[in-house]
Amino acid sequence: MAELRAFVGVMDSGKSTLALQMDHNHRARGREGRVFSSRDRAGEAVLSSRLGLSVPAIEVNETFGFWTYVVDELTRGGRVDYLVCDEAQFYTRTQIDDLAKIVDELEVDVFAFGILTDFRTELFEGSRRLMELADRVHTLQVEALCWCGRRATHNARTEDGVMVTEGDVIVVGDVDDPDRPKPTVGYEVLCRRHHRRRMTAATAKASALSPDVLPFG
């Protein structure tokens, strides 16, 4: 029977690599599938991993309809055995509902990959709905590490190397003041302790070099 399976983890835990491997394995067994992604690091309409691997993908924006797409494909005589859906945290609640409907009504397997929480430690809309509906949830076994060596459990956003905990979930740039230099936005995985302390690798290094820091803590 078809299933909606969720694969979740923090950044750097190998979710996109596993999504690529999942697609490869099913195609190697003669199954026909479709690959989807949203706001991939490599650009639009692509699923890429940090290891340098990538495949073409169907871009999922806010108005994309999974149910309509799959029904149209089947109506035209196409074959769809499974869907690989990367960056599922960016999907809307309705899109996740569509994926569950595709599993139940069309008997198509759905493998969804995503990050659970944003840089504020709050669940993404898509991730929340996926947890509510998934037949099975898999936590990725590749452990991402905080700069301190502990297991990373939280995603952090930095601006010019300093961690921030407020702002839009998806950064599209500062459009209010074109003359104001834009901060360099980055992301980093941290353990809970250092996320709570807002201590990134950069700020930890700066603190270690500061003459005001006492040799104990």
Residue 183 corresponds to which amino acid? P
d(CA 191, CA 189): 7
Contact criterion met (CB below 8 Å) for 139 and 8? yes
- What is the DSSP track for 124-159? -HHHHHHHHH-SEEEE-SS--B-TTSSBP-EEEEEE
Catalytic positions, please? 87
Burial of 179 (0-12, 13-18, 19+ CB in 10 A): exposed
d(CA 114, CA 60): 14
DSSP letter string, 75-142: HTT----EEEE-SGGGS-HHHHHHHHHHHHHH--EEEEEE-SB-TTS-B-HHHHHHHHH-SEEEE-SS
Whether the Cβ atoms of residue 154 and residue 21 lie closer than 8 Å to each other = no
- Using CA atoms, how far residue 77 sits from 71, 72, 73, 109, in Å, is 10, 9, 7, 18
